[in-house]
């Protein structure tokens, strides 16, 4: 690959080094081979422009992320075989296999050469990290790591020590200078802030009982002040004043909300209400799963679930299994204003987290839709007026028929016999057989038991599963969690719905 010609690209100079931290506004020659090989050849060809001449053979490929429109190669700089904290180089390659962007936090040669060697061992570093801060118990998590810590124009040897504390509960990552023994930085990985917001729980009518969502000319009315619930937004990281949390981030949303006081109370007509609503409801749903026992090493989501709260003008929302993100549309009533629409889509994310690529056969796809409706209905049942309990997405479906109007109901009387096996069949329609079956279980056993056995059943399913296998998995989950306490009632429900065999 030829180096980029002078002036054929734009660059952003680094703050402390003479080397650029970003090159952009160019298209490289077309590369071949896998993305990591293209990235390496590009870096080799442009090492002088980037000022990473000697770093080149010390860049380790850490990750390759395959996006829909581009591949992103992330490399980590090493020096004397140790990691340099935050010294990443990323190379971004378009579908046409041309590099179009490179970012570099690599530390240049002259700075590397001046770095001192470590003089204190891990035991002293741990003592320094444990000293000061908090009561209760504290212990080291994992193994302390010796690395390089860049600070302006110097590279310090440092120990990275992770400490868990009980009071106040915190997991602190501490960097201890490996020559002086002083603490360079401390960062609490669990630190969480709480914000405030207003949302619908899960729709305006649940609180404003007499509110009629449509006016005489069938336009959607503005909900009254009494339709809002004041809630707390938990597990916020509190950095950047945006909706970034331990469980959820709205980072994919354009023109994100910011609030220095973390007060996100808005009316639904204001842009940003959907973003707040999405953060709140999905965060609560994941917190509920943690409460069911899916936490610690059993946690289902290993990183914050990313949401685009206004990702399309269509009246449509989706979960992307490839990117593991949620997107909500703003056609008609904004989808992310309705707590149940949010949790229906979250249902897909939850299934995919347990059982990757769930829903690849017609029956599995119908189970995916049915589960999302069930999960939303189960989650909010106690918040809704009695005549709303068997219906889901009544705000999103304000224009729908029936009483109350809704997108779908959970009390279909259909049995498996009515499953439409034609290629043109709609999985949401077929899904109502499954959601009604799950809803029967909910009514017979109560929310907690039903949610536990239904969620747990997914661990033994695959993407091409069927109603019959889904039913047997629920029975197995009941055996594993409750020693078959509900077997008789479950079998009766499956039999009545024509799902089986389950014996
Ligand atoms: Zn769906």
201-251 pLDDT, tens digit each: 999 999 999 999 999 888 999 999 999 999 999 999 866 689 999 999 999
Compute the distance from residue 26 Cα to the ligand 1 centre, in Å.
40
What pLDDT, on the 0 to 100 scale, is given for residue 240? Answer: 64
Over residues 144-168, the pLDDT tens digits come to 999 999 987 889 999 999 988 877 6
Compute the distance from residue 336 Cα to the ligand 1 centre, in Å.
14
Compute the distance from residue 360 Cα to the ligand 1 centre, in Å.
13
Compute the distance from residue 317 Cα to the ligand 1 centre, in Å.
8
The domain ranges of the chain are 10-107, 122-188, 193-354, 362-496
Compute the distance from residue 293 Cα to the ligand 1 centre, in Å.
25
What pLDDT, on the 0 to 100 scale, is given for residue 499? Answer: 97
Compute the distance from residue 373 Cα to the ligand 1 centre, in Å.
8
Compute the distance from residue 324 Cα to the ligand 1 centre, in Å.
14
Give 246's Cβ-side CA count (13 Å radius): 18
Asked whether residue 86 carries a pLDDT value surpassing 80, the answer given is: yes
Asked whether residue 391 carries a pLDDT value surpassing 90, the answer given is: yes
Compute the distance from residue 477 Cα to the ligand 1 centre, in Å.
24
> Are domains 10-107 and 362-496 of this chain identical in fold?
no
Compute the distance from residue 421 Cα to the ligand 1 centre, in Å.
18
Of 368, 369, 392, which is closest to residue 379 (Cα–Cα)?
392
Compute the distance from residue 383 Cα to the ligand 1 centre, in Å.
22
Asked whether residue 373 carries a pLDDT value surpassing 80, the answer given is: yes
Cα–Cα distances (Å) from 193 to 233, 238, 245, 285, in that order, read 8, 5, 9, 18
Compute the distance from residue 496 Cα to the ligand 1 centre, in Å.
25
Compute the distance from residue 120 Cα to the ligand 1 centre, in Å.
56
Compute the distance from residue 343 Cα to the ligand 1 centre, in Å.
10
Token pair of 372 as six digits: 């999302």
Q: Classify 372 in phi/psi space as left (phi over 0), alpha (psi -120 to 50) or beta.
A: alpha
CA distance 39 to 30: 11
Q: Which residues contact 123 (CB under 8 A, 6 or more apart)?
A: none
Which fold, 10-107?
Nuclear Transport Factor 2; Chain: A, (3.10.450)
Helices (H), 381-486: 427-445, 447-457, 467-482
Compute the distance from residue 405 Cα to the ligand 1 centre, in Å.
19
Compute the distance from residue 108 Cα to the ligand 1 centre, in Å.
50
Q: Which of 53-57, 198-202, 305-309, 405-409 has the lowest mean pLDDT?
A: 53-57
Under 8 Å between Cβ of 317 and 309:
no
What pLDDT, on the 0 to 100 scale, is given for residue 67? Answer: 74
Over residues 420-454, the pLDDT tens digits come to 999 899 999 999 999 999 999 999 999 999 999 99
Compute the distance from residue 344 Cα to the ligand 1 centre, in Å.
6
What pLDDT, on the 0 to 100 scale, is given for residue 167? Answer: 74
What pLDDT, on the 0 to 100 scale, is given for residue 109? Answer: 83
Of 177, 174, 170, 171, which is closest to residue 160 (Cα–Cα)?
174
Compute the distance from residue 499 Cα to the ligand 1 centre, in Å.
22
Asked whether residue 190 carries a pLDDT value surpassing 70, the answer given is: no
Cα-Cα end-to-end distance for the chain? 64
Compute the distance from residue 214 Cα to the ligand 1 centre, in Å.
25
* Range from 3-7, 212-216, 390-394, 499-503 that averages highest in pLDDT: 390-394
Query: 3-state DSSP call for residue 104?
Result: strand
Compute the distance from residue 357 Cα to the ligand 1 centre, in Å.
13
**Overall average pLDDT of the 54-83 stretch:** 85
Residue bearing tokens 């690395």: 147
Share of the chain above pLDDT 90, in %: 71
Compute the distance from residue 196 Cα to the ligand 1 centre, in Å.
29
Compute the distance from residue 349 Cα to the ligand 1 centre, in Å.
10
Share of the chain above pLDDT 70, in %: 97
What pLDDT, on the 0 to 100 scale, is given for residue 72? Answer: 87
CA distance 326 to 287: 17
Compute the distance from residue 64 Cα to the ligand 1 centre, in Å.
29
What pLDDT, on the 0 to 100 scale, is given for residue 304? Answer: 95
Asked whether residue 321 carries a pLDDT value surpassing 80, the answer given is: yes
Which fold, 362-496?
Neutral Protease; domain 2 (1.10.390)
Compute the distance from residue 413 Cα to the ligand 1 centre, in Å.
21
Compute the distance from residue 27 Cα to the ligand 1 centre, in Å.
39
CATH 3.10.170.10 fits 193-354, yes or no: yes
Compute the distance from residue 372 Cα to the ligand 1 centre, in Å.
6
- Report the predicted TM-score, pTM, of the whole model to 2 decimal places: 0.69
Compute the distance from residue 254 Cα to the ligand 1 centre, in Å.
23
Cα–Cα distances (Å) from 307 to 139, 312, 318, 444, in that order, read 35, 12, 10, 34
Of 503, 69, 456, which is closest to residue 298 (Cα–Cα)?
456
**Overall average pLDDT of the 338-357 stretch:** 95
Over residues 448-503, the pLDDT tens digits come to 999 999 999 999 999 899 999 999 999 999 999 999 999 999 999 999 999 999 87
Q: Which of 14-28, 256-270, 287-301, 350-364 has the lowest mean pLDDT?
A: 14-28
Compute the distance from residue 368 Cα to the ligand 1 centre, in Å.
7
Residue 352: exposure state from Cβ atoms within 10 A (0-12, 13-18, ≥19): buried
Under 8 Å between Cβ of 487 and 477:
no
Compute the distance from residue 401 Cα to the ligand 1 centre, in Å.
20
CA distance 430 to 434: 7
Compute the distance from residue 282 Cα to the ligand 1 centre, in Å.
15
Query: 3-state DSSP call for residue 30?
Result: strand
Compute the distance from residue 309 Cα to the ligand 1 centre, in Å.
16
What pLDDT, on the 0 to 100 scale, is given for residue 389? Answer: 96
Compute the distance from residue 329 Cα to the ligand 1 centre, in Å.
13
Asked whether residue 26 carries a pLDDT value surpassing 80, the answer given is: yes
Compute the distance from residue 280 Cα to the ligand 1 centre, in Å.
20
**What's the chain's average pLDDT?**
92
Compute the distance from residue 464 Cα to the ligand 1 centre, in Å.
16
Compute the distance from residue 345 Cα to the ligand 1 centre, in Å.
6
Helix H or strand E encompassing 44: helix 35-45
Under 8 Å between Cβ of 335 and 396:
yes
What pLDDT, on the 0 to 100 scale, is given for residue 54? Answer: 67
Asked whether residue 68 carries a pLDDT value surpassing 80, the answer given is: no
Q: Which residues contact 159 (CB under 8 A, 6 or more apart)?
A: 118, 120, 122, 125, 126, 129, 144, 145, 146, 147, 175, 176, 178
Under 8 Å between Cβ of 147 and 160:
yes
Give the strand pairing for 325-329 and 20-24: unpaired
CA distance 179 to 119: 5
Token pair of 196 as six digits: 């405030």
Residue bearing tokens 């690209």: 9
- Using the Cα atoms of residue 28, residue 29, residue 35 and residue 40 in order, give the sign of their dihedral: negative
What pLDDT, on the 0 to 100 scale, is given for residue 361? Answer: 92
Compute the distance from residue 348 Cα to the ligand 1 centre, in Å.
7
Between 373 and 72, where is the model more confident?
373
């Amino acid at each position: 690959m030829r180096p980029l010609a002078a002036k054929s690209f734009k660059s952003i100079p680094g703050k402390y080094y003479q080397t650029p931290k970003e090159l952009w506004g160019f298209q490289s020659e077309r590369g071949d081979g896998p993305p990591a090989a293209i990235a390496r050849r590009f870096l080799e060809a442009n090492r002088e422009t980037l000022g990473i001449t000697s770093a080149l053979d010390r860049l380790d490929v850490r990750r390759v992320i395959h996006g829909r429109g581009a591949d992103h190669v992330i490399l980590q700089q090493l020096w004397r075989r140790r990691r340099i904290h935050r010294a990443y180089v990323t190379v971004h390659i378009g579908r046409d296999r041309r590099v179009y962007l490179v970012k570099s936090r690599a530390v240049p040669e002259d700075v590397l050469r001046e770095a001192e060697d470590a003089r204190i061992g891990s035991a002293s570093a741990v003592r320094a990290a444990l000293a000061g801060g908090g009561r209760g118990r504290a212990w080291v998590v994992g193994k302390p790591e010796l690395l390089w810590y860049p600070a302006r124009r110097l590279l310090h040897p440092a120990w990275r020590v992770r400490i868990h504390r009980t009071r106040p509960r915190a997991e602190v990552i501490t960097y201890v200078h490996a020559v002086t023994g002083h603490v360079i930085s401390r960062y609490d990985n669990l630190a969480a802030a709480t914000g405030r917001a207003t949302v619908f729980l899960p729709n305006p009518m649940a609180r404003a009982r007499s509110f009629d969502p449509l006016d005489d000319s069938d336009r959607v009315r503005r909900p009254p002040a009494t339709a809002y619930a004041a809630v707390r937004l938990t597990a916020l990281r509190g950095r950047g004043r945006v909706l970034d949390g331990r469980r959820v981030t709205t980072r994919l949303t354009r023109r994100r909300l910011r609030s220095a006081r973390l007060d996100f109370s808005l009316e639904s007509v204001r842009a940003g209400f959907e973003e707040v609503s999405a953060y709140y409801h999905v965060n609560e749903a994941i917190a509920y799963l943690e409460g069911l026992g899916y936490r610690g090493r059993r946690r289902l989501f290993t990183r914050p679930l990313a949401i685009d709260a206004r990702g399309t003008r269509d009246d449509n929302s989706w979960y992307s299994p490839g990117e593991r993100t949620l997107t909500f549309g703003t056609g008609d009533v904004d989808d992310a204003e309705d707590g149940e629409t949010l949790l229906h889509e979250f249902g897909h994310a939850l299934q995919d987290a347990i059982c990757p690529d769930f829903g690849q056969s017609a029956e599995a796809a119908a189970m995916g839709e049915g589960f999302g409706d069930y999960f939303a209905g189960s989650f909010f049942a106690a918040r809704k007026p009695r005549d709303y309990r068997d219906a889901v997405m009544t705000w999103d479906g304000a224009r729908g028929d029936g009483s109350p109007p809704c997108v779908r109901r959970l009390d279909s009387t259909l049995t498996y016999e009515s499953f439409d096996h034609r290629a043109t069949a709609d999985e949401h329609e077929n899904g109502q057989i499954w959601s009604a079956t799950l809803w029967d279980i909910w009514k017979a056993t109560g929310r907690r038991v039903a949610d536990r056995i239904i969620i747990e059943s997914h661990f033994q399913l695959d993407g091409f599963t069927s109603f019959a296998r889904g039913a047997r998995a629920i029975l197995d989950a009941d055996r594993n969690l409750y020693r078959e306490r509900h077997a008789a009632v479950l079998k009766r429900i499956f039999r009545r719905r024509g799902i089986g065999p389950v014996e």
